[in-house]
Amino acid sequence: MCFWDVDSGELIDNPFGRDAGVSQDSGNTIVVMNRDDAVDEWGTDICERMHGLSAVDIGHITSVLNDSSKYCAIGFEDGAIQLWERRERTAVFEPLKGHSGKVLALVTDQFKSDYLASGSEDQTIIIWDPERREMKLPPLKGHSGPITSLASVNLKTLGSGSLDGTVRLWDVSTGVMLHAFTASEMGSVYSVACYDNRLILSGSEDGIIRMWDTEHREMPPKKFVGHTDKVISLAIDYDNRGRRFASGSSDGTVRVWDIEREREIVEGSMGEMAVSPNGEYLVSGSSKGTVSVWRIGTGELINGPLEGHNSSVTSLSFSPDGSHFASGSFDGTVRIWNLGGESVTCSTEGQRVWAICFSPDGKHVASSGTDKPILVWDSQNGRLALEIFEGHSKLVVSICYSPDGNRIVSGSRDENICIWDALDGTLLQTLPDQATSVKCSHDGSYIISVSVPEDGTIRFWDANNGKPIREPIKVQVYFMSTIYFSPDDTYFVSKSLENCRVWNMSTGRPLFEVNLISPGSSFVFLPSSDSKYIKFASSSDEDGLIRIYCVDIDSKGTISDAPDEDGWLVGNDGNLLSWVPSGIRHSLIYGSCVRILNSQFTTKLTLSKYQGSQWTSCFPSSDIV
């Protein structure tokens, strides 16, 4: 068994001697099914075995499910299913019996845990009531081969994969089979997983991963091609807002895929960015653990790639005077750098760092991680200045200081925003929101939060009393990742995967949005000397480039300066303006994109002197036949 960094592809820890099947819960633990008929529980943050369950007295283990904080379910060769209490490490009830063959798949309702479903070598699926310890329905029949995998699609639907070469949908309340997906060339199905409560991923014998639409069932599946042997395991990465998934194959590889872009994620892609307060410098981090310093005005690389981290860079922050910047990484360290490349290391003792932020006076750096919620470091010597343990019960994914430096605001997956005293760590206030991004306004009067992927909502809070100051904005953008205030707090910018949207702060209405030339993984707002323009940078893990955009604040509607899928630039009226060859599309400087920092070459296109239908006037009349 191996633990891997999904961003860099690096092995986090040495392989452990476990020939096993693995099931992860919604938190930071996995349970491992061993060949010696025992089950171990491991912490994914510490890569250590926590405790084990012995099941030798019941029989040979064939499947395991770890899908709640209290129980895990174990399937056996004789068709029995045993529920185990994880804390006490004891069997809760007598085994559930109903299958006549090996239990090969287990899944629970991901929304309410109202049922437990099991798939067997006997070609049937049973839906159980775990509290009453009985079948809810007679066994579901329809497959003509062993059931290898199950996935909860939504409150009403269950998905199944089988060696008969089909993926089937079932109504969990009636047991009726709703649909069967199949493709002539795919062969046996070994794994299924659900994405976005609507789409089912299937891994099959031909090495191709297919994505089926449960609402538009006659549509052909989207394909993810790369493996050279059967795909035996699939897992959605919910820590990355569900945007990617991992696949394991008998070809001996594990691959990480981008769901929206239907491709494998490139190793070493660009990640987080930060900009100096004066707008002169930009620092970028990569999934290989390096950081680079760029001069924005010229696009010049002035230092880097700087090595120091040995895993993905997850967060960056500049000091208020612009002389230093801090980087956080999954390697469990925070590094504080000067622009010359020298750094001081702050060690979190192996806990992954998710977010960092400089204090307004530049004396401290706050960081959040997987175990200890918030740590505050001395920015001069890297020593730990303050530990905040109590308050959050789950991962803290976003932190910021109030402008006066007296408070720290943190957003977590435990559905709470916490406001802390920055001097002693006292919890001052708790706001009810599962925020993936929190920011304070420049005047310190209010806090803005983004709660995705839960409901795609932007909320506004009074920083003094914690009360909402206006109605939430329902954005309904699943992959919205962060938010920024303008320097005068008159507008704010929200960033999603494909675009950024500019909002009027006083009305809460969108002013315009900009479609990014290449889908961006990170976004940072840039200072602008002219208040008529908004400037920002976006990095892309699709092509690894950092693009600088400049947009007129009076723009309206949607600004789309990216070529379409055929390479055409299209005007606002739908007319085709110019065709861009595929070899230079990624390096195109056009429209709102004014600079690319890290491309070997760029192509600048201007239509200010276009001829339109009078294109023949470009040639002398004697040359026209």
In whole angstroms, give the CA distance from residue 199 to residue 153. 8
What b/e sequence results for 305-336 when a residue is b if at least 16 CB atoms lie within 10 Å of its CB, and e otherwise?
bbebbbbbbbbbbbbeebebbbbbbbbbbbbb
Q: Which CA distances in Å does 140 have to 74, 237, 391?
A: 20, 30, 45
Bridge partners (DSSP) listed for residue 48: 43
Other C-beta atoms closer than 10 Å to the C-beta of 252 total 9
Cα–Cα distance, 479 to 496 (Å, whole number): 5
Most confident range, picked from 37-41, 67-71, 155-159, 238-242? 155-159
Tokens of 504: 């009027």
Exposed/middle/buried for residue 493 (C-beta within 10 Å: 0-12, 13-18, 19+): buried
Q: Which residues contact 372 (CB under 8 A, 6 or more apart)?
A: 348, 351, 387, 388, 389
Close Cβ partners of 415 (under 8 Å, ≥ 6 residues apart): 432, 433, 434
- Eight-class DSSP state of 478: T
In the numeric block, the tokens 């612009």 are attached to 322
Give residue 493's pLDDT band: very low, low, confident or very high (50, 70, 90). confident
Mean pLDDT of the chain, nearest integer: 80
State residue 600's pLDDT score.
75
Closest CA to 210 of 198, 193, 196: 193
Peptide bond preceding 453 in cis form (omega within 30 of 0): yes
Spell out the long-range contacts of 137-145 with Cβ–Cβ below 8 A and sequence spacing 24 or more.
Answer: 137/174, 137/175, 138/175, 139/98, 139/99, 140/170, 140/175, 140/177, 142/168, 142/177, 142/180, 143/168, 145/188
Peptide bond into 468 cis (omega under 30): no
Ranking 199-208, 319-328, 451-460 by mean pLDDT, the lowest is: 451-460
User: pLDDT tens for residues 226-263?
Assistant: 888 899 999 887 654 456 889 999 988 888 887 766 66
Task: Give the pLDDT score at 48.
Answer: 43
Count of Cβ atoms closer than 10 Å to residue 604 Cβ:
12
| Global pTM value | 0.63
Per-residue pLDDT, averaged over 437-445, amounts to 89
pLDDT at 46: 37
Q: What is the DSSP string of 83-114?
A: EEETTTTEE-SSPB---SS-EEEEEE-TTT--
Convert the pLDDT of each residue in 463-476 to its tens digit.
888 899 888 887 75
Radius of gyration of the chain (CA): 27
Beta bridge partners of 485: 492
Give pLDDT tens digits for 19-54: 444 444 444 444 444 544 455 554 444 334 434 455
Greater pLDDT, 543 or 121: 121
3-class SS letters over 168-195: EEEECCCCCEEEEECCCCCCCEEEEEEE
